[in-house]
């Protein structure tokens, strides 16, 4: 029967159609976009956005040359984005959001000025770029169509500025030496913030109990929050910093330097533990697990050993807190579940367009769907919040962006085995795990740091690739 089927005309027609679709798919622009990096570079360099940016640069270059401004500004601090980036990395944990925004804008203007003054300046291209731009566009569109437009536009402009800082980073850093210097600043800044958090813990804080269920966790006297006003937010920041302390420790030469960065890792980890953020604890476990898999699978056994020993050495307060993960008797857990139920109800009506950005938009709509009369400023999940604010298109663009980040960085790591790429992958993984149970973009400084770490990973793929050529 099978032989008769294979010899039939219908079988031959089916095979011919199958081959035609196969060839069509294999030669499609979609596949070329995913599989051929050099072709992709050419596509992006010839894109409307690239041509527009280059045209604007050339236009201003002519004006500057005519006015002799190029000679006046050449070599000045204003045309050195590397200096301004250093200030951002150093001060972002400690300054108010609007001052951070001012420094980010200074970085953008400095890079633009550099592009004007340097004739051989070229934009760098990665597949992830188009997704970053697409997401920035979605943010702007949803701000304009928000149910609370005035606040959403302000938040949208701030968010877009922080997203576009990704492009400042990838077009400024050119060597691994630069990357290592900036990572050092990034980690040291995080360590200072962590030390301040430890100071809070040991000297006490009367406001720390507002994030705890007093009935379940009487033995926990406070939760560390450092300069971020909230322990969960501080933990999310630490998730993005900690893997790079390990990177610097492993890349350093000499025992003194290795011990120095190991000490930074210890301080950061202790501060993370004392946030008592269960989501962040799970995030760092996943982050270090991924880092171990990438570096050397045998390191996983150290993690297993640490988990086995932990019950015998950790304080009861930490063990009790960790064991409560998923316990609906804990008010914070049940609070989240009720909010998720209400948010999912919202999506039935707003899944297509979203409600727009900010707490005003959320508070305007959410009470109509609130479950059990729970009041909340956001959905307590990054993924639900993205879906609610930006609709299905914005959510899918974000998923596409994350997919391309992982694709570019993992491919580069497999080829180059560079620790900086591994650190970026681990940091983003831990952050995304925490994002399942908290709105990790609620603090805008953390939003900026998220895009910085995305840029860390992406630019590392090209600086390492150039070194190997």
127 lies in a domain?
A: no
Give the model's pLDDT for residue 127: 86
**pTM (predicted TM-score):** 0.85
Q: Angle, nearest 10°, between helix axes 278-295 and 231-251?
A: 20
- Number of other residues whose CB lies within 10 A of the CB of residue 332: 17
Work out the number of other CB atoms within 10 angstroms of the CB of residue 74: 14
- Range of 107's domain? 42-122
Q: Does residue 17 carry a pLDDT above 50?
A: no
Evaluate whether residue 193 is within a structural domain. Answer: yes
- pLDDT band with cut points at 50, 70 and 90 for residue 417: confident
Q: pLDDT by residue (tens digit) across 114-130? A: 888 887 777 888 889 99
33 in a structural domain: no
CA geometry: angle at 326 spanning 321 and 331, to 5°?
70
Residue 353 per-residue DSSP state: T
Residue 2 lies in a domain: no
pLDDT number for residue 434: 95
Domain-embedded: residue 1? no
Q: How many Cβ atoms from other residues are within 10 Å of residue 175's Cβ?
A: 11
pLDDT band at 63 (very low <50, low <70, confident <90, very high): confident
Q: What per-residue confidence (pLDDT) applies to 2? A: 38
Query: Which among 124, 136, 122 is positioned nearest to 37, based on CA atoms?
Result: 124
| pLDDT > 90 in the chain, percent | 46
Tokens for 39, please give them.
């072709």
CB 276, CB 212: distance < 8 Å: yes
Q: What integer best gives the mean pLDDT of the chain?
A: 82
Mean pLDDT of 129-146: 93
118/82 same-domain check? yes
In sequence order, which residues have a C-beta less than 8 Å from that of residue 10 and are 6 or more positions away? none
What pLDDT does 11 receive? Answer: 43
7 domain-assigned: no
As given in the structure block, the two tokens for residue 117 are 């003054």
Answer yes or no: is 24 within a domain.
Answer: no
Closest CA to 428 of 460, 465, 396, 393: 460
Whether residue 211 sits in one domain with residue 111: no
**Cα separation, 224 vs 190, whole angstroms:** 14
170 shares a domain with 268: yes
Distance CA 245, CA 260 (A): 10
Residue 8 has pLDDT above 60, yes or no: no
Q: Name the residue with higher pLDDT: 379 or 8.
A: 379
For 238-275, write each residue's pLDDT tens digit. Answer: 999 999 999 999 999 889 999 999 999 999 999 999 99
The distance of Cα 67 from the centroid of its chain, to the nearest Å, equals 41
- State the number of CA atoms in the 13 A half-sphere of 288 facing the CB: 19
Summarize pLDDT for 141-197 with one digit per residue, the tens: 999 999 888 899 999 999 999 999 999 999 998 888 899 999 999 999 999 999 999
pLDDT at 438 over 50: yes
Instruction: Report how many domains make up the chain.
Output: 2
Please tell me whether residues 385 and 349 are part of one structural domain. Answer: yes
Label residue 62 by pLDDT band (50, 70, 90).
confident
Section 410-421 average pLDDT: 90
**Shared domain check, 109 and 192:** no
**Domain shared by 290 and 346, yes or no:** yes
398 and 459 fall within a common domain? yes
332 and 394 fall within a common domain: yes
Domain stops at, among 63, 92, 122: 122
Between 388 and 33, name the one with better pLDDT. Answer: 388
Whether residues 147 and 86 share a domain: the answer is no
Same domain for 95 and 189: no
Same domain, 327 and 447: yes
Do 431 and 386 lie in one domain? The reply is: yes
Cβ(39)–Cβ(45) below 8 Å: no
Q: What is the pLDDT of residue 175?
A: 86
- Judge whether residue 76 has pLDDT over 80: no
The domain boundary, picked from 59, 93, 122, lies at: 122
Which own/partner contact pairs does 163-166 have at CB distance under 8 Å and 24+ positions apart?
A: 163/132, 163/135, 163/136, 163/139, 163/451, 164/108, 164/136, 165/88, 165/104, 165/107, 165/108, 165/448, 165/451, 165/452, 165/455, 166/132, 166/451, 166/452, 166/454, 166/455, 166/458
CB neighbour class for 55 (10 Å; exposed up to 12, middle 13-18, buried from 19): exposed
């Amino acid at each position: 029967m099978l032989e008769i089927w294979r010899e039939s005309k219908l079988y031959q027609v089916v095979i011919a159609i199958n081959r035609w679709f196969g060839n069509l798919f294999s030669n499609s622009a979609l596949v070329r976009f995913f599989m051929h990096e050099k072709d992709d570079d050419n596509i992006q360099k010839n894109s409307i956005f690239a041509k527009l940016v280059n045209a604007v640069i050339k236009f201003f270059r002519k004006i500057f040359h005519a006015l002799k401004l190029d000679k006046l500004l050449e070599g000045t601090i204003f045309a050195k984005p590397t200096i301004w980036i250093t200030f951002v990395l150093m001060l972002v944990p400690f300054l108010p959001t609007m001052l951070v925004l001012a420094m980010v804008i200074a970085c953008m203007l400095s890079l633009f000025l550099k592009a004007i003054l340097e004739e051989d300046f070229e934009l760098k291209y990665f597949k992830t770029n188009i997704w970053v731009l697409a997401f920035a566009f979605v943010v702007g569109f949803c701000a304009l169509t928000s149910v609370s437009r005035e606040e959403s536009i302000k938040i949208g402009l701030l968010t877009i500025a922080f997203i576009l800082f990704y492009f400042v980073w990838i077009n400024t850093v050119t060597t691994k030496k630069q990357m290592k210097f900036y990572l050092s600043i990034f980690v040291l800044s995080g360590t200072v913030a962590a030390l301040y958090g430890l100071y809070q813990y040991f000297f006490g804080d009367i406001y720390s109990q507002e994030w705890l269920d007093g009935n379940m966790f009487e033995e926990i006297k406070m939760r560390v929050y450092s300069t971020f006003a909230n322990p969960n937010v501080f933990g999310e920041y630490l998730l993005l910093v900690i893997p790079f302390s390990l990177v610097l420790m492993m890349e350093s030469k000499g025992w003194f330097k290795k011990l120095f960065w190991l000490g930074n890792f210890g301080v950061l980890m202790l501060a993370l533990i004392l946030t008592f953020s269960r989501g962040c604890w799970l995030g760092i476990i996943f982050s270090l697990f991924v880092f171990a898999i990438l570096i050397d699978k045998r390191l996983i056994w150290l993690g297993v050993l640490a988990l086995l020993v932990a019950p015998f050495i950790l304080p009861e307060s930490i063990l009790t807190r960790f064991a409560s993960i998923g316990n609906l008797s804990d008010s914070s857990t049940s609070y989240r579940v009720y909010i998720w139920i209400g948010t999912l109800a919202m999506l039935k009506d707003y899944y297509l367009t979203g409600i727009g950005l900010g707490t005003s938009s959320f508070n305007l709509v959410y009470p109509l769907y609130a479950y059990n009369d729970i009041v909340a400023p956001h959905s307590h999940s990054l993924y639900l919040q993205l879906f609610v604010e930006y609709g299905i298109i914005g959510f899918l663009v974000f998923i596409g962006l994350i997919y391309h980040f992982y694709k570019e960085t993992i491919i580069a790591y497999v080829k180059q085995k560079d620790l900086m790429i591994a650190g970026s992958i681990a940091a983003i993984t831990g952050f995304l795990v925490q994002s399942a149970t908290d709105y990790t973009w609620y603090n805008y400084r953390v939003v900026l740091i998220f895009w910085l770490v995305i840029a860390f990973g992406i630019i590392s793929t090209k600086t390492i690739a150039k070194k190997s050529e």
